[in-house]
């Protein structure tokens, strides 16, 4: 069976408020802008993208589980779940797909509780603090991992 040419793009809690919530931290681009950027970036390498955003952990976990059958990898910004969710980390580990972790802000330069990521040890790509453009970088790096 050939490897699927699809990526799952996961955005966690509050990322639906991109462009509105703390624009000095997260910028003015919207979630729609992020999804379009990742789709364009992936399409340039022959991949399609299935985006999912939810403020509910279980919805994200279900989407990750479903990806194991038809996606080659996962680009994820877990939002606040980065620092709290062992369940999300276990879902990513359990599907055994390559993961790119992306954060718009530099979480290491923010509050101390943001310095730990439960996703970090299961991700093969980490892009932090590069704004929304970091999603494109994470997508390119993940595809390079898949094809390299």
126 is in an annotated binding site: no
Give the three-class secondary structure for 125: strand
The answer to whether residue 26 is catalytic is: yes
115 is in an annotated binding site: no
Give the three-class secondary structure for 67: helix
The answer to whether residue 47 is catalytic is: no
Residue 8 pairs with which residues in a beta bridge?
50, 74
Catalytic residue selected from 26, 47, 118, 135:
26
Catalytic residue selected from 47, 103, 118, 135:
103
85 is in an annotated binding site: no
83 is in an annotated binding site: yes
**Cα distance between residue 42 and residue 36, in whole Å:** 10
Q: Identify which of 26, 42, 17 has the alpha carbon closest to the alpha carbon of residue 143.
A: 42
77 is in an annotated binding site: yes
- Annotated binding site, which residues? 77, 83, 90, 104-105, 114
**Residues labelled as active-site residues:** 26, 103
């Amino acid at each position: 069976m050939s490897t699927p040419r699809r990526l799952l793009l996961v955005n966690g809690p509050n990322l639906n408020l991109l462009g509105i919530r703390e624009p000095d931290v997260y910028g003015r681009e919207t979630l729609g802008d992020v999804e379009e950027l990742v789709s364009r970036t992936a399409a340039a390498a022959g991949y399609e993208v299935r985006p999912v955003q939810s403020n509910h952990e279980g919805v994200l976990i279900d989407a990750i589980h479903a990806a194991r059958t038809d996606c080659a990898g996962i680009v994820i910004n877990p939002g606040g779940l980065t620092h709290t969710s062992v369940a999300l980390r276990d879902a990513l580990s359990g599907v055994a797909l390559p993961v790119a972790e992306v954060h718009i802000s530099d979480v290491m330069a923010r509050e101390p509780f943001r310095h730990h990521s439960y996703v970090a040890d299961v991700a093969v790509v980490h892009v932090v603090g590069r704004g929304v453009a970091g999603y494109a970088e994470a997508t390119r790096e993940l595809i390079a991992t898949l094809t390299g």
